[in-house]
């Protein structure tokens, strides 16, 4: 019949989101990523210069840069040892400038290059630690059960240790680096009368200074040489461990170019043992380690 209306039935479609699939999730993920990047940039812009330098150093060399503090990169792994004692910035202390840090990182790189790849030194390198601390670049010579850097109970440097110091000295000399040298012992008392761990630690520190000077460093590059005895043990829970017997060479941040002396630290930190005459002439009694 011509008057019969035409009825069209349209079924309501459910789940219309199917037409869009999961594309909205991709767009949302991109938005979140962009916001995260934006806030990271804003965070970095508000950091101090030295922190920016650390972040830059990590992205420039991810494999060789340790993000934790202190940032320690040993020439060779030192298994079973705790991290070395490092200085802590006190309230009001000056923060190292980025250019100082970059300079000392460059010195570290050159020192590592001079030491690595020398077959004769490979065994001794297991007892060398190169660490960037809050105070500056620290090069540490750690003793072993058998003589590594010094003859047993004496301040005489072993021939192999002389060769290692001779590899480091040209880098420190050409960089005009300022050095603070400290000697340390374990907690075992020295075995002879009239000569203590204070004497031994100071004499060993002075022996390293003498060797560096003989290899070309100027006397003006040395700002402090001291003996610490067993007052700063590397491994406090093992006070007699051989690794506690060590000599550290610190290139301090706080020593600005052109200054003639190291800025004073706490009064207690300034108490150090005066270095005496040539330690080899003292001929102290033999002592294990």
Domains of the chain: 72-84+95-281 (3.30.1330.60)
User: pTM of whole model > 0.75?
Assistant: no
Distances (CA, A) of 6 to 3, 10, 11, 13, 181: 9, 13, 16, 22, 103
Written as six digits, the tokens of 155 are 């301040």
pLDDT tens by residue, the chain, 289 residues: 566 777 766 666 555 555 556 788 888 888 999 999 888 888 888 776 667 667 766 676 665 554 444 444 444 433 333 344 444 444 444 455 677 888 888 999 999 989 887 888 888 888 999 988 888 999 999 998 887 899 878 899 999 999 999 999 999 999 898 999 999 999 998 877 788 999 999 999 999 999 999 999 999 999 999 999 999 999 899 999 988 999 999 999 865 444 445 544 443 343 334 344 444 434 444 444 4
Q: How far apart are CA 232 and CA 197, in angstroms?
A: 12
Specify the 3-state DSSP secondary structure of 134: coil
Cα of first residue to Cα of last residue in the chain, in angstroms, is 119
The answer for 76, left when phi > 0, alpha when psi is -120 to 50, beta otherwise, is beta
């Amino acid at each position: 019949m011509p008057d019969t209306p035409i009825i069209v039935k349209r079924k309501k479609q459910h789940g219309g989101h199917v037409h869009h699939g999961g594309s909205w999730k991709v767009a949302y993920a991109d938005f979140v990523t962009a916001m995260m990047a934006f806030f990271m940039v804003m965070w970095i812009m508000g950091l101090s210069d030295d922190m920016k330098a650390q972040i830059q150093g990590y992205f420039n060399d991810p494999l060789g840069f340790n993000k934790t503090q202190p940032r320690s990169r040993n020439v060779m792994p030192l298994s079973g040892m705790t991290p070395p004692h490092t200085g802590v910035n006190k309230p009001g202390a000056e923060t190292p400038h980025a250019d100082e840090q970059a300079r000392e990182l460059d010195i570290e790189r050159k020192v590592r290059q001079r030491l690595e790849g020398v077959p004769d030194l490979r065994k001794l390198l297991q007892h060398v630690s190169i660490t960037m601390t809050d105070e500056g670049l620290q090069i540490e010579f750690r003793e072993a059960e058998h003589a590594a850097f010094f003859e047993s109970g004496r301040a005489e440097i072993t021939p192999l240790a002389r060769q290692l110091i001779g590899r480091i000295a040209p880098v420190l000399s050409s960089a005009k680096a300022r050095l603070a040298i400290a000697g340390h012992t374990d907690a075992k008392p020295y075995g002879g009368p009239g000569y203590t761990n204070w004497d031994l630690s100071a004499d060993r520190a002075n022996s390293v200074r003498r060797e560096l000077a003989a290899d070309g460093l100027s006397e003006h590059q040395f700002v402090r040489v001291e003996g610490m005895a067993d007052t700063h043990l590397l491994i406090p829970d093992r006070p007699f461990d051989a690794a506690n017997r060590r000599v550290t060479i610190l290139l301090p941040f706080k020593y600005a170019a052109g200054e003639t002396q190291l800025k004073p630290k706490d009064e207690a930190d300034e108490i150090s043992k005066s270095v005496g005459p040539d330690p080899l002439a003292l001929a102290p009694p033999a002592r294990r380690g």
